[in-house]
């Protein structure tokens, strides 16, 4: 990307940390419901008692559900929580992110949280309010 395109100011303001946290809260409620449904399906399929974090396959199954929930809606521009708070995820050129960018965004956001939230706190110091996963995936959250 040309340096002048990167420095171009977007037409909408970037999303701040407070709004990001509220979006995560909204999407977290939906995600818990999806995980409960997924657990019921796993139990009905005869998997026996399973525990996230202890059973590797079950943990991967739940992580995949988490990823596909977010990535599906990111590719459309916004999750349910993002819609409620009028925020869209986009590439630097304004287009929706691809599956690869979604995977990088998801993986680095987990790292951001695992580092005691430092990857999210980074947005407090970045002039364009970007977190680590925004920087790594080449995406941004913009208010609409």
Whole-number Å distance between alpha carbons of 52 and 135 = 30
Contact of 87 with 143, CB cutoff 8 Å:
yes
Whole-number Å distance between alpha carbons of 39 and 125 = 39
- In a domain, residue 120? The reply is yes
Q: What is the pLDDT of residue 6?
A: 47
What stretch of H or E contains 27? helix 17-44
Domain count, the chain: 1
Residues forming beta bridges with residue 140, ordered by sequence position: 90
- In a domain, residue 1? The reply is no
Beta strands in the chain (DSSP E): 87-91, 139-143
138: left (phi over 0), alpha (psi -120 to 50) or beta: left
Contact of 79 with 23, CB cutoff 8 Å:
yes
- In a domain, residue 3? The reply is no
The range of the structural domain enclosing residue 56 comes to: 13-143
Tens of pLDDT along the chain (144 residues)? 444 444 444 579 999 999 999 999 999 999 999 999 999 999 998 877 888 888 899 999 999 999 999 999 999 989 999 999 999 999 999 999 999 999 999 999 999 999 999 999 999 999 999 999 999 999 999 999
- In a domain, residue 42? The reply is yes
- In a domain, residue 4? The reply is no
């Amino acid at each position: 990307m040309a340096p002048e395109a990167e420095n171009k100011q977007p037409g909408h303001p970037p999303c701040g940390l407070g709004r990001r946290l509220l979006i995560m809260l909204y999407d977290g409620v939906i995600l818990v419901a999806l995980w409960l449904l997924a657990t019921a399906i796993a139990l009905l399929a005869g998997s026996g008692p399973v525990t996230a974090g202890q059973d590797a396959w079950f943990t991967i199954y739940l992580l995949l559900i988490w990823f596909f929930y977010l990535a599906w809606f990111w590719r459309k521009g916004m999750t349910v929580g993002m819609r409620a708070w009028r925020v869209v995820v986009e590439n630097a050129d304004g287009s929706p992110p691809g599956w690869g960018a979604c995977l990088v965004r998801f993986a680095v956001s987990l790292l951001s949280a695992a580092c005691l939230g430092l990857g999210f706190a980074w947005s407090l110091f970045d002039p364009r309010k970007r977190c680590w996963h925004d920087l790594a995936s080449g995406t941004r959250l913009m208010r609409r």
